[in-house]
Structure 1
Amino acid sequence: MSVLGRKAAAEFVGTAFLVMAVVGSGVMASRLLPDDAGLQLLQNSLATGAALVALIVALQPVSASFNPVVTLVERALGLIDTGTTAALVAAQVLGGLAGTVAANLMFGLDAVTVSTHVRTGPALWLGEVIATVGLLVVIFGTVRSGRADRVAFAVGGYITAAYWFTSSTSFANPAVTIARTVTDTFAGIAPSSAPAFILAQLLGGAAGYVLVRFLYPPLATPAVATADRKVLS
């Protein structure tokens, strides 16, 4: 298999397992504690954050973005080319959908159940912008400060926290957002709500790109440039 094929496969698998963690833990939490939304969210956030750490550690040597916004920012920074970007984004979206289907089936649900969970309004959209900006700063800041080996823990910790400090519970990922439209469970989002969430994430991605470029000027040394490419793509 080609290098690009392996990267796309890693993105597919990683995003699939990430979404399984999001959706599956949401179903489990709602069944174990049907009357306590706070504990449901706690269980959901801890499972997601822990899964992210494990998946990034495992797949980082191949490719471990699991997020189209991160991949698009990599492209904007010149770390990957357009063809690679398209392949990885497609793999992330398809992997996310596969993860939702798997989670639904694991819990005895129909493979696809269109979500009726409406999430809309300026406050939630702002939450998505802020969540995405923060995620990009955490990822690229950790890498560009020479601590690439800590990206998994930084991202896992950030997402766990962002579940709680953002109004939207920090989707911060278009592939995950699309995937969550086909599960009518705790983690779902109605298809009518998804476009605005994705737009907010893309706006957050643009703002995050500007902030990363400002805080961390263009790569100064070949070693750092190599670390960027190795960790993020």
Structure 2
Amino acid sequence: MASYDLSRRLVAEALGTAMLVATVVGSGIMATSLTADVGLALLANTLATGAILVVLITVLGPISGAHFNPAVSLIFAMSGSLPKRDLGLYVLAQFAGGMAGTICAHLMFNLPLLELSSKIRTGGAQWFSEGISTFGLIAVILAGVRFEQRAVPWLVGLYITAAYWFTASTSFANPAVAFARSLSDTFSGIRPVDLPGFWIAEISGAVAALVLFNWLLQPAETSSILPSEAKL
């Protein structure tokens, strides 16, 4: 597999996160403009998000690893497949890309460029849901990379599609996407004041998955779950 320099990897991360957020926010706006049925709107939002994840991971994964998510980048840095010196830049690219994605979605639907969300998403059930959803996402990625790397785009897309529906929080599972969604007072939004609880739950779930799968996926004679050259 070709190796890409840091600038190209960062652009891929920013672009992928922007397209992911534009899809999440834009499909939510489109859905609520077409139906007053909240369940149907959520289904439309879900299908669009799952589909774009398959596409983005497939086309950008060979460049940057297709993290689009600070929790994923953190886990890959902790396990050695992302150089620790690159972690901060990956996270900055993801947050910047997420904000750009919200702006793009708003422009497409003639809304203010940025508008703080008023949608309440807080409480123990929501936080626990985010911990579970992020745990599952990291578990799917780690096991997928280990056993069936080519299937990872589909595994992630299908997992998020399912997690939209089995979690009370609708599975943000991504600190950068959560931040970007706080800048949109639309169907997919979250109040900025609710972000810290989501972020803590997401990082906790991600680290818990790494700890468990570091043990679960390893034959007895090896000690690291991901070789340093592994990529999504």
TM-score range, shorter chain: over 0.9
Work out the CA distance in 1 between the residues paired with 2:72 and 2:10. Answer: 14
**1:113 is matched with which residue: 107, 112, 115?**
115
Work out the CA distance in 2 between the residues paired with 1:96 and 1:209. Answer: 25
Q: Does 1:60 align with 2:61?
A: yes
Retained in 1: the 8 A contact 2:134–2:202? yes
Work out the CA distance in 2 between the residues paired with 1:143 and 1:230. Answer: 8
Work out the CA distance in 1 between the residues paired with 2:14 and 2:79. Answer: 23
Give the root-mean-square deviation of aligned CA atoms: 1.7
Work out the CA distance in 2 between the residues paired with 1:192 and 1:87. Answer: 25
Q: Does 1:210 align with 2:211?
A: yes
Secondary structure at 1:182 match in 2: coil
Q: CA deviation at 1:220?
A: 5.0
Work out the CA distance in 2 between the residues paired with 1:163 and 1:11. Answer: 23
Task: Name the structure 2 match of 1:75.
Answer: 77
Q: Does 1:182 align with 2:186?
A: no
After the TM superposition, which residues 31-42 of structure 1 pair with which residues of structure 2 at under 5 Å, given as runs?
A: 31-33=33-35, 35-42=36-43
Task: Name the structure 1 match of 2:149.
Answer: 148
Retained in 1: the 8 A contact 2:16–2:60? yes
Work out the CA distance in 1 between the residues paired with 2:188 and 2:97. Answer: 17
Work out the CA distance in 1 between the residues paired with 2:87 and 2:218. Answer: 22
Work out the CA distance in 2 between the residues paired with 1:129 and 1:113. Answer: 27
Retained in 1: the 8 A contact 2:80–2:227? no
**1:93 is matched with which residue: 88, 92, 95?**
95
Retained in 2: the 8 A contact 1:136–1:212? no
Deviations 1:124-168 (A, max 9, x none): 1000000000000101101111x1110000000000000000010
Task: Name the structure 1 match of 2:231.
Answer: 230
TM-score (norm 2): 0.94
**Runs of 5+ consecutive residues of structure 2 not aligned to the other structure:** none
Q: CA deviation at 1:230?
A: 2.7
Task: Name the structure 1 match of 2:194.
Answer: 193
Secondary structure at 2:157 match in 1: helix
Q: CA deviation at 1:208?
A: 1.1
Deviations 1:89-139 (A, max 9, x none): 110110001000110111000000110001011001000000000000101
Q: Alpha carbons of 1:221 and 1:123: their partners in 2 closer, same or farther (altered >3 Å)?
A: closer
Counterpart residue identity of residue 179, structure 1? A
Secondary structure at 2:192 match in 1: coil
Work out the CA distance in 2 between the residues paired with 1:221 and 1:70. Answer: 20
Q: CA deviation at 1:221?
A: 11
Secondary structure at 2:62 match in 1: coil
Secondary structure at 1:150 match in 2: helix
* Matched residue count: 226
Identical aligned residues as a percent: 48
Larger deviation, residues 199-208 vs 211-220: 211-220
Work out the CA distance in 2 between the residues paired with 1:183 and 1:92. Answer: 17
Deviations 1:41-73 (A, max 9, x none): 000000000000000011011010100000000
